[in-house]
Structure 1
Amino acid sequence: MTSKQRNRLALALATAGALGVALLSPAAQAGADGVRPECPRSLDCDWVPAAYRQTGDPADKRTYGNYDTADRPDSNAVKFIVLHDTEVDYDTTLKIFQDPRNQTSAHYVVRSADGHVTQMVKNKDIAWQAGNWYLNTHSIGIEQEGFAAQGATWYTPEMYRSTARLVRHLAAKYDIPLDRQHILGHDGVPPTSAAGTRNMHWDPGPYWDWNRFMALLGRPTVPSAPRSSELVTVSADFDRNKQAFRDCEKGVDLPLQGSSAVPLRTEPSEEAPLFSDPGLHPDGSPGTNCAADWGSKISATQQAVVADRVPGWTAIWWYGQKAWFRSPHGVRVTTPTSGYVVKPRSGKAEVPVYGVAYPEKAEYPADFPKPAVGSPLAYTIEAGQAFPGGGEAPTGYYYAPTIDASEPYDHTYVRGDQKYVTVQIGHRIGFVRASDVDVVRARP
């Protein structure tokens, strides 16, 4: 959640009616409307509907909350799962999503103490959760009770287990790959434009144990390629990887503690500046150790392509540049991995990266009221570079400006023919046009 959303917490009072589908789990508790949550049988779940009602003059756009209706996956595919933290307690989170004035929601909320799961938005509908409309329309959002700066305190074994069971269930239902280009932290969601980079989120933060979580999903990091492989998975041990970051939003130094995050530098030296994300630092200033500055760190279970090696250090391609991290002899920081990488097609000096996969303007109906097209982010992939990825991203735009579908094309999904593929461009994913790149097997 953003600070703006947190400032709205006191407003969270109202409840609302809801739409739902009867489903799956005998253990799942139906809401007052008799709707059962969409949960696997092994989870303790209940249904508490988020608000969906008009809050102002219907002539004004977005005067309703807290989600949009759709008919997914028939209307638009579900291809990503986004993990958040709430930045408030569980009860307050439910109240926030029940107040339509807050204009925010997620499909599920997971309680810290016991891993109890509450569904608040049907999976067929679009929760307002990712801070990127394209990702909203193609993802399911899961809020986890806790505070990113205090993550190790709030992220309990019960929470990890419940979230993993839920993610496995959803991934199987919607055919979502169990990898870090599709199972995202909110910190992995890209902006929709270069100008929006500074407003993106950093939860669940550097204290979410991604090694542990991906192992619970049945995808532990194990070697699958020779040691010389150009593709690696960061696998720094959470408990041994002690890092000291700063909560720059509150001006507080965080204590030295276990972390999933590995700092990145501009040269193979502890004295070198931290890597500077060109989207976060367009003036070229150095990266920081702020927990929110994810451009200066890579997370465990994220993949990267090796750009160089010297004793004790490894360089990877990161946001279109080289970034270095310590890899001391005898300490497992990375694991060689087989898989696919994305490279500029022959003759392409550089390839633009986008935060959305929208149709081209010409692909919208001639009388479409507001065509949405992507603009390049602050990152490019240059000839000679490579990045993990290659999975096809759905191309389309869901237009939903009002609550009651009162406009032409309202609640309509416009599909595009331009194909995009997903790349792990840095800490956040991005999308590139398939016609600009080759997707090839990583060199062993």
Structure 2
Amino acid sequence: MTPKQRTRLAAALATAGALSMTLLGPTTHAGADPVRPDCPRGLACDWIPAAYEQTGDPGDKETYGNYDTSDRPHTNKIRFIVLHDTEEDFDTTLKIFQNPLKQTSAHYVVRSADGHVTQMVRNKDVAWQAGNWYVNSHSIGIEQEGVAVDGAKWYTPEMYRSTAKLVRHLAAEYDIPLDRQHIIGHDGVPPTSASGTRNMHWDPGPYWDWNRFMALLGRPTVPTASARSELVTVSPDFKKNKQEFRDCEKGVDLPVQGSSAVPLHTAPSADAPLFSDPGLHPDGSPGTNCAADWGSKISATQQAVVADRVPGWTAIWWYGQKAWFRTPAHTRTTTPTAGYVVRPRKGRDEVPVYGVAYPEKSEYPADFADQRVGAPLGYTIKAGQSYPGGGEAPTGYFHAPTIDSSRPYDHTYFRGEEKYVTVQIGHRIAFVKASDVDIVRVR
């Protein structure tokens, strides 16, 4: 971190500290009792509430911010934890979440300089953080102070330790598996529809050290299967895995540096085009080395199913196709892994993939107008392909169009009977109907 950044962070620390001292007394929000942060013992943590205010005509659905009240996990189960970066400094992030006109929030914010944690939305409530309402309804969001294209400058040892301690605490409290289908980056959140793919976020980006983080969670990548296992965990050494990416929004090349990301190609050659995510490149154009083009990369600690091998290269199933990446001999780019994979049931040529796990239309009350159902994304799982996953995803839709309204069905969670499971279809997770697939244990 540069001296300028440290100076700015020190100022933010002082401001945030003063503000938290003011607010840590008998603080309430949304008519609640005084709030204490839900943090593990020994973690520096305070409570500063995000805005929950009416900002216009109560009849207008877009007139309040910055989260929704709920009663999780008694209503909607908490199943995922989403890691973000703020793209702002710590103090500015707190102010944004306190401004109801910004229409955004997260449950926690972690400071770069010292790992201090501020909780801003209670875990029982739904923060507006993931860009996917289903994921919002079933997740806890953690913002980490930083700028994704600035590399590891913001991601300090203190931040890694604090975020890991917080995630371990939350995972234990809500029975969330400590794996990469449930502990995801914002870059792992699926769109709700095929048309929304290009609007999804890609933080915390290629310079977040997932190997380091998962080891701090007590889940380091170690071999758990034979060397020729069809399931592998991507595990390049962060410091040695030096990659050249581009900030395409600014039109500049980023410094070559250590990364969690491994480029994916269409053939086993460094000269082959980069993999093209059909959701990001619907015109069929090649993938790019843009930092934001996550379809052309796989990240350390993500799992994949091997589709083919040639000397020095491995192919995996990725968004319905083969994607190749370099696996030189005597390196540990991949680690053989035992686990569960999802395959189409016998007789199925392909299986649709969804970005949500909503009820069927027939499961809503007849007089309920917002009978929301999931539409398939632009990806399918084809016969002969397998993807990591199999964990059950809650089926339900949380309806919250107004602020604490007495309207029928407002702030109601509608459960569905159709069972869905989570899959790692590409860089982002997604959901498939359990009735469409077989879940198979591989070793």
Same fold? TM cut 0.5: yes
Match in the other structure for 1:122:
122
The answer on 1:60 being equivalent to 2:60 is yes
3-state SS of paired residue (1:272): coil
State the Cα distance separating 1:408 from its structure 2 match: 1.3
Match in the other structure for 1:7:
none
The equivalences for 1:152-301 within 5 A come to 152-301=152-301
3-state SS of paired residue (1:58): coil
Question: Does structure 2 conserve the Cα–Cα contact (< 8 Å) formed by 1:31 and 1:46?
Answer: no
Match in the other structure for 2:17:
none
Equivalent position amino acid for 1:286 in 2: P
Aligned partners of 2:86, 2:238: CA distance in 1, in Å? 22
Aligned partners of 1:249, 1:165: CA distance in 2, in Å? 34
Aligned partners of 1:61, 1:190: CA distance in 2, in Å? 24
3-state SS of paired residue (2:213): helix
Match in the other structure for 2:97:
97
Aligned partners of 1:136, 1:429: CA distance in 2, in Å? 14
Q: Which stretch has the larger CA shift, 54-63 or 186-195?
A: 54-63
Per-residue CA deviation, residues 111-135 of structure 1 (Å, 9 max, x unaligned), is: 0000000000000000000000000
Aligned partners of 1:66, 1:57: CA distance in 2, in Å? 16
Match in the other structure for 2:429:
429
Equivalent position amino acid for 1:410 in 2: D
Aligned partners of 1:350, 1:70: CA distance in 2, in Å? 37
Aligned partners of 1:152, 1:31: CA distance in 2, in Å? 36
Per-residue CA deviation, residues 49-100 of structure 1 (Å, 9 max, x unaligned), is: 0000101111111200000000000010000000000000000000000000
Match in the other structure for 1:362:
362
Per-residue CA deviation, residues 331-372 of structure 1 (Å, 9 max, x unaligned), is: 110000000000000000000000000001111111112111
Aligned partners of 2:346, 2:101: CA distance in 1, in Å? 51
Aligned partners of 1:437, 1:257: CA distance in 2, in Å? 40
State the Cα distance separating 1:36 from its structure 2 match: 1.4
Per-residue CA deviation, residues 144-164 of structure 1 (Å, 9 max, x unaligned), is: 000000130000000000000
Give the total of aligned pairs.
416
3-state SS of paired residue (1:198): helix
Match in the other structure for 2:329:
329
Per-residue CA deviation, residues 294-336 of structure 1 (Å, 9 max, x unaligned), is: 0000000000000000000000000010000000001110000
State the Cα distance separating 1:252 from its structure 2 match: 1.6
3-state SS of paired residue (1:391): strand
Per-residue CA deviation, residues 12-55 of structure 1 (Å, 9 max, x unaligned), is: xxxxxxxxxxxxxxx9x935515210000020000000000101
State the Cα distance separating 1:249 from its structure 2 match: 1.4
Aligned partners of 1:151, 1:355: CA distance in 2, in Å? 29
Match in the other structure for 2:5:
none
Match in the other structure for 2:11:
none
The answer on 1:30 being equivalent to 2:28 is no
The equivalences for 1:364-403 within 5 A come to 364-403=364-403
Match in the other structure for 1:131:
131
3-state SS of paired residue (2:227): coil
Aligned partners of 1:35, 1:417: CA distance in 2, in Å? 35
Aligned partners of 1:404, 1:36: CA distance in 2, in Å? 22
Equivalent position amino acid for 2:226 in 1: P
Identical columns (%): 81
The answer on 1:342 being equivalent to 2:336 is no
Aligned partners of 1:363, 1:229: CA distance in 2, in Å? 41
Question: Does structure 2 conserve the Cα–Cα contact (< 8 Å) formed by 1:30 and 1:37?
Answer: no
Aligned partners of 2:194, 2:406: CA distance in 1, in Å? 32
Match in the other structure for 1:410:
410
Q: 1:228 to 1:249 in 2, by over 3 A?
A: same
Equivalent position amino acid for 1:78 in 2: I
Aligned partners of 2:389, 2:373: CA distance in 1, in Å? 22
The equivalences for 1:37-116 within 5 A come to 37-116=37-116
Question: Does structure 2 conserve the Cα–Cα contact (< 8 Å) formed by 1:81 and 1:183?
Answer: yes
Aligned partners of 1:347, 1:104: CA distance in 2, in Å? 44
Aligned partners of 1:386, 1:256: CA distance in 2, in Å? 33
Aligned partners of 1:304, 1:215: CA distance in 2, in Å? 19
Question: Does structure 2 conserve the Cα–Cα contact (< 8 Å) formed by 1:345 and 1:436?
Answer: yes
Question: Does structure 2 conserve the Cα–Cα contact (< 8 Å) formed by 1:314 and 1:326?
Answer: yes
Aligned partners of 1:63, 1:309: CA distance in 2, in Å? 54
Q: Which 4+ runs in 1 deviate beyond 2 A? A: 29-32
Aligned partners of 1:43, 1:151: CA distance in 2, in Å? 25
Q: 1:31 to 1:104 in 2, by over 3 A?
A: farther
RMSD of aligned residue pairs (Cα, Å): 1.0
The answer on 1:146 being equivalent to 2:143 is no
State the Cα distance separating 1:251 from its structure 2 match: 1.3
Aligned partners of 2:328, 2:166: CA distance in 1, in Å? 37
Question: Does structure 2 conserve the Cα–Cα contact (< 8 Å) formed by 1:232 and 1:337?
Answer: yes
Aligned partners of 2:98, 2:163: CA distance in 1, in Å? 22
Aligned partners of 1:407, 1:296: CA distance in 2, in Å? 46
Equivalent position amino acid for 1:223 in 2: P
Calculate the TM-score normalised by the size of structure 2.
0.93
Question: Does structure 2 conserve the Cα–Cα contact (< 8 Å) formed by 1:151 and 1:204?
Answer: no
Question: Does structure 2 conserve the Cα–Cα contact (< 8 Å) formed by 1:244 and 1:255?
Answer: yes
Aligned partners of 1:377, 1:96: CA distance in 2, in Å? 32
Aligned partners of 2:373, 2:35: CA distance in 1, in Å? 37
Aligned partners of 2:171, 2:405: CA distance in 1, in Å? 30
Equivalent position amino acid for 2:391 in 1: G
Equivalent position amino acid for 2:368 in 1: F
State the Cα distance separating 1:405 from its structure 2 match: 2.2
3-state SS of paired residue (2:341): strand
Q: Structure 1, unaligned stretches of length 5 or more?
A: 1-26
